[in-house]
Structure 1
Amino acid sequence: MAVGPVHETLEALELVDHHCHGAVTAELDRAGFESLLTEGEAWPGFSAFDTPAGLAVRRHCAPLLDLPRHAPADTYLNRRAELGPDEVNRRFLTASGTGVFCVDTGYAPHAVTEPAQLARAAGGDAYEVVRLESVAEAVAARGVEPDGYARAFRGAAEAAARRPDVVAVKSVAAYRTGFGLDPARPTHAEVTAAARDWLARGGRLDHPVLVRQLLWTAVDLGLPLQLHAGFGDSDLRLHRADPSLLTDWLRLTAGTVPVLLLHCWPFQRQAGYLAAVFERVYLDVGLTLHHVGPSRAGAVLAEALEITPFRKLLFSSDAYGVAEFHHLGALAFRQGLAGLLQERVDADELALPDALRIARWTGRDNALRVYRLPDGEADGEAHGERAGWC
């Protein structure tokens, strides 16, 4: 892509990745690596390298392993194994140009870097995002009576939220029940009856009443609430992950905590509508960008920004497992947003100073403001708003 002022600004910008996960610390064989390249399952005769994400890895990640662009998959994996996981993670995390990571620690089917390890490898800082379903399931695993569940969960959630460096909580309600829930806060009697049912059968937290209670507890905690929306693996029912299904709940919780809609594809337009009409709703298109690749990232971002206020879009990678995705997410975001903004500048739809300001807001300052993160370089307007949620 042509280099211009917007591209140069985004290229030099130290990003805030407001939602991601750790990188695997063990060596990966081909099957293990490919399983992390896709949200789908392994199919006989199918290679995850034969996807947009797989092609993007060979094109944009191979040079960071001292390989030519488009290196064959076997060559790529052999070089990756030769360098070892620590060096591979260091190279990709450093190349992402990310200064701050907000790390969801509630999903780790593999041994992955802790937030502090991730930050050290990148030469940046890291904060924790607490996944509330994991808190609830830990409460159940320790043993609790149904009539004591509500108090036990709230106490555990409050304790988790008070841990040093925790800046947000998260729910995966989109996976467990979908968003088509009764928006009202459940009564204690309803929670007790639901807990009796769930605790008797065990398993993941998937009772609609207890998911509702979890969301309302998140509001009571007072921290920003991240909500997975849209794109995910086959465990998800995509039509139930449309964030517009949250409209009534967002009305009831208006004026409380920031709600950050994660990923959103293919519902980025619905998420943009919610951000446009609700003061404290924000969104990103993380995860999507490294799966569509840098060449299509601008199209997704263009739809996300059709009506979204510019102070409402944040950057995230949602990278998990392979550090290639931390790098690819950042690269796709920089290139996609730079192309989109520069196109509008060239069409005289946007002044260059405004484009540069939007680039800084989206890549960095919006997250600093929403999560109240310390930084001395954010622009004065963002800094001045940190006294309250915006």
Structure 2
Amino acid sequence: MSGGPVLEALEALSLVDHHCHGVVTADLSRQEFEDLITEGGSWPGSSSFDSPVGVAVRRHCAPLLDLPRHASADEYLARRSGLGPREVHRRLLAAAGTGVFCVDTGYAPERLSTPAELAVAAGGTAYEVVRLESVAESVAARGVEPGEYADGFRVAALEAVRRPGVVAVKSVAAYRTGFDLDPARPSDAQVTEAARHWLAGGGGRLADPVLVRHLLWTAVDLGLPLQLHVGLGDNDIRLHRSDPAHLTDWLHLTAGTIPVLLLHCWPYQRQAAYLATVFEQVHLDVGLALHFVGPARSRAVLEEALEITPFRKLLYSSDAYGVAEFHFLGALAFRRGLAGLLQDRVDSDELDLPDALRVAEWAGAHNARQVYRLPGTS
């Protein structure tokens, strides 16, 4: 893409990544790496490198590991292994240019870096996002009577959000039930009966619609910004049920309470944009999608997200998980995609340059600082 003052400003901007995860701290085998760079897993006879994101890794990450652009997958993985995870993370995180990370700590089947460890590797600052399903499942695992579940969950959630550095909570209701739920707050009796069935089955994965509704309303009571996974995910999700338009009635009921952050959103970025336009509390990002489509297509996704979205409602996230390549590619795709569309509007006199630079800074950093009340907010 061509350069210009908007790209220069975005490249100089220290990003606020308002939703991401840690990186795997151990060495990765080829199979483990390939599994981490796809939502679907790698299959016999195929390679995750034979995909848009695999090509982006070889094109854009290889030079940061002292390899030529488009180095082969074998060369890339050999070099990555030779450098070791600590050096790979240092290089890629530094190149991402992210100064602040809001880290979801609720999903870690692998040993991931903590928020503090991620911040040290990147030379930045990190905060924590509490995943509420993990809190609920820990309450069940400790043992609780059905009639005591609601209070037990509330107390555990309060304890979690009072930890130093916690700035938000998150729900993966899109994975567990989808959003086509009764929007009303469930009664105490409904919660107790649902908890009875869930706990009788051994607790475990929280996927009861009544208890998910209770979780979302508990998030409102906690008073912190609520992040909601929307759209794109692994094959555990039922994509049509993760359309955020299903949240419309719930958003009416919760108006005037907490900020709601719609994460990722692809392929529903237009529905998310509509909700951000008509509900004061709604914000969105297109993280996760950006590194999967790569810098070559990030502009197209961002253009749809910004068709009607108020400029103070778009945030940056990478949703990077497991590999630092995704922290770097997410930032690269965001900067290039947003700069390209804003610069073209400036060049066609649809937007003046000061406005374009302001929009770029809002999306890349300022909007997140405001929503999460981070230091440096004016």
- Please, what TM-score do these two structures have when normalized by structure 2? 0.99
Structure 2 match to 1:193:
193
Rounded Cα–Cα distance in structure 2 between residues aligned with 1:221 and 1:147: 21
Correspondence 1:293 to 2:294: yes
The SS at the match of 1:361 is helix
Structure 1 match to 2:269:
268
The aligned length equals 377
Structure 2 match to 1:386:
none
Tell me which amino acid in the other structure corresponds to 2:337: G
Q: What are the Cα deviations for residues 222-247 of structure 1, in whole angstroms up to 9, with x where unaligned?
A: 00000000000000000000000000
How far does residue 43 in structure 1 lie from its aligned partner after superposition?
1.2
How far does residue 3 in structure 1 lie from its aligned partner after superposition?
1.4
Structure 2 match to 1:212:
213
Q: What are the Cα deviations for residues 236-286 of structure 1, in whole angstroms up to 9, with x where unaligned?
A: 000000000000000000000000000000000000000000001000000
Structure 1 match to 2:53:
53
Rounded Cα–Cα distance in structure 2 between residues aligned with 1:332 and 1:47: 22
Structure 1 match to 2:134:
134
Tell me which amino acid in the other structure corresponds to 1:134: S
The SS at the match of 1:260 is strand
The SS at the match of 1:116 is helix
Correspondence 1:165 to 2:172: no
Rounded Cα–Cα distance in structure 2 between residues aligned with 1:39 and 1:26: 20
Structure 2 match to 1:92:
92
Unaligned 5+ segments in structure 1 are 384-390
The SS at the match of 2:313 is coil
Runs of 4+ that moved beyond 6 A: none
Rounded Cα–Cα distance in structure 1 between residues aligned with 2:54 and 2:69: 13
Rounded Cα–Cα distance in structure 1 between residues aligned with 2:30 and 2:16: 31
Correspondence 1:101 to 2:63: no
Q: What are the Cα deviations for residues 292-322 of structure 1, in whole angstroms up to 9, with x where unaligned?
A: 0001000000000000000000000000000
Rounded Cα–Cα distance in structure 2 between residues aligned with 1:2 and 1:244: 36
Rounded Cα–Cα distance in structure 2 between residues aligned with 1:46 and 1:82: 24
Correspondence 1:151 to 2:151: yes
**1:1-390 equivalences in 2 (<5 Å):** 1-201=1-201, 202-375=203-376, 383=378
Rounded Cα–Cα distance in structure 2 between residues aligned with 1:264 and 1:184: 24
Rounded Cα–Cα distance in structure 2 between residues aligned with 1:266 and 1:189: 37
How far does residue 41 in structure 1 lie from its aligned partner after superposition?
2.4
Rounded Cα–Cα distance in structure 1 between residues aligned with 2:281 and 2:187: 26
The SS at the match of 1:311 is helix
Unaligned 5+ segments in structure 2 are none
Q: What are the Cα deviations for residues 184-242 of structure 1, in whole angstroms up to 9, with x where unaligned?
A: 00000000000000011132000000000000000000000000000000000000000
CA RMSD of aligned residues (A): 0.5
Rounded Cα–Cα distance in structure 1 between residues aligned with 2:283 and 2:81: 39
Rounded Cα–Cα distance in structure 2 between residues aligned with 1:330 and 1:243: 24
Q: Is the CA contact 2:129–2:166 (under 8 Å) kept in the aligned structure 1?
A: yes
Rounded Cα–Cα distance in structure 1 between residues aligned with 2:41 and 2:72: 22
Rounded Cα–Cα distance in structure 2 between residues aligned with 1:355 and 1:280: 24
Q: Is the CA contact 2:287–2:317 (under 8 Å) kept in the aligned structure 1?
A: yes
Q: Is the CA contact 2:34–2:41 (under 8 Å) kept in the aligned structure 1?
A: no
How far does residue 45 in structure 1 lie from its aligned partner after superposition?
0.4
Rounded Cα–Cα distance in structure 2 between residues aligned with 1:198 and 1:53: 39
Q: Is the CA contact 2:177–2:208 (under 8 Å) kept in the aligned structure 1?
A: yes
Rounded Cα–Cα distance in structure 2 between residues aligned with 1:128 and 1:209: 27
Tell me which amino acid in the other structure corresponds to 1:281: V
Rounded Cα–Cα distance in structure 1 between residues aligned with 2:213 and 2:44: 39
Rounded Cα–Cα distance in structure 2 between residues aligned with 1:22 and 1:318: 10
- Please, what TM-score do these two structures have when normalized by structure 1? 0.96
How far does residue 2 in structure 1 lie from its aligned partner after superposition?
1.4
